[in-house]
Amino acid sequence: MHMSMPPNPTRFLLSLAALAAAAFASSGCGTTKVDEERGRTLFIQNCGACHTLAQAATTGQVGPNLDDAFAASRAAGEGASTFEGIVKTQVENPRPSNANPAASMPADIVAGGDLDDVAAYVARYAGVPGAAPPKAEGGAGAQVFTNNGCGGCHVLAAADAGGVTGPSLDEVLPGQSAKMIEEAIVDPNAMIAKGYPANVMPTNFGSSLSPTEIEQLVEYLIESTSKSGSK
């Protein structure tokens, strides 16, 4: 997901009023129940490869850094409803921020209730000082799993994760060695799970995670999935 807001914060602020007006016009007067936790998962799945957002632990650099883009407006007192409208407007009608159409976000990358959840999630956390991923139960490895959005793509019962972009870790990891799991993390295209395409999982975990974090994550996955595999 590439929310094609200008990466220049000044330019973003200049266009805020127009976007807010469009958002208000399309928002309607009804109320919709949203699920921000689900919005986080959807954001990681659809948007994290392109956008940085601290609370989602995503570091994509194809599109604007959403914390930077919203920080000044949030500090100036703009509210969540304005941010939700901006996100929806950008998703429904992306505005290219450069001359490369390949780097522009496709329209309606999420829609309907999914868009409501993503917009509410981004509106709550983008640009919030000190925003960080939720604290995970299960130790250091569980926190690495959470911080890096693994649950947005994979099922893992121990983490209460239900992503479907990638294979269920409860099904594919039991019986694998630590070396095999580490390779799947740092070089995901080396051995692709049956039924899933290549180049879906980020290939930069080998550099974005420290050796200690990788070790902690592998240990956590082995411990978590060995329990499911023994049932």
CATH of the domain at 116: 1.10.760.10
Residue 180 belongs to some domain of the structure: yes
DSSP classification of residue 104: S
Residues 66 and 24 in one domain: yes
Number of Cβ within a 10 Å radius of residue 191? 10
Q: How many domains does the chain have?
A: 2
pLDDT in 10s for each residue of the chain, 231 residues: 555 444 454 454 445 444 444 444 444 444 568 999 889 878 887 888 789 999 998 878 788 999 999 999 999 999 999 999 999 999 999 876 555 555 678 889 999 999 999 999 999 999 999 999 889 999 999 999 988 888 878 999 999 888 878 899 999 999 999 999 999 999 999 999 889 988 888 888 998 899 999 999 999 999 999 865 544
Residue 39's identity, in one-letter code, is G
Residues 71 and 38 in one domain: yes
Residue 32 belongs to some domain of the structure: yes
* Domain, as residue range, for 170: 140-229
Relative orientation angle of helices 211-229 and 178-186, to the nearest 10 degrees: 120
Burial of 105 (0-12, 13-18, 19+ CB in 10 A): buried
Of 90, 125, 160, at which residue does a domain stop?
125
**Measured torsion, CA atoms of residues 107, 108, 109, 112, in degrees rounded to the nearest 10:** 170
User: pTM, whole model, 2 decimals?
Assistant: 0.65
**Gap between the Cα atoms of 15 and 115, Å rounded:** 21
**Gap between the Cα atoms of 223 and 231, Å rounded:** 13
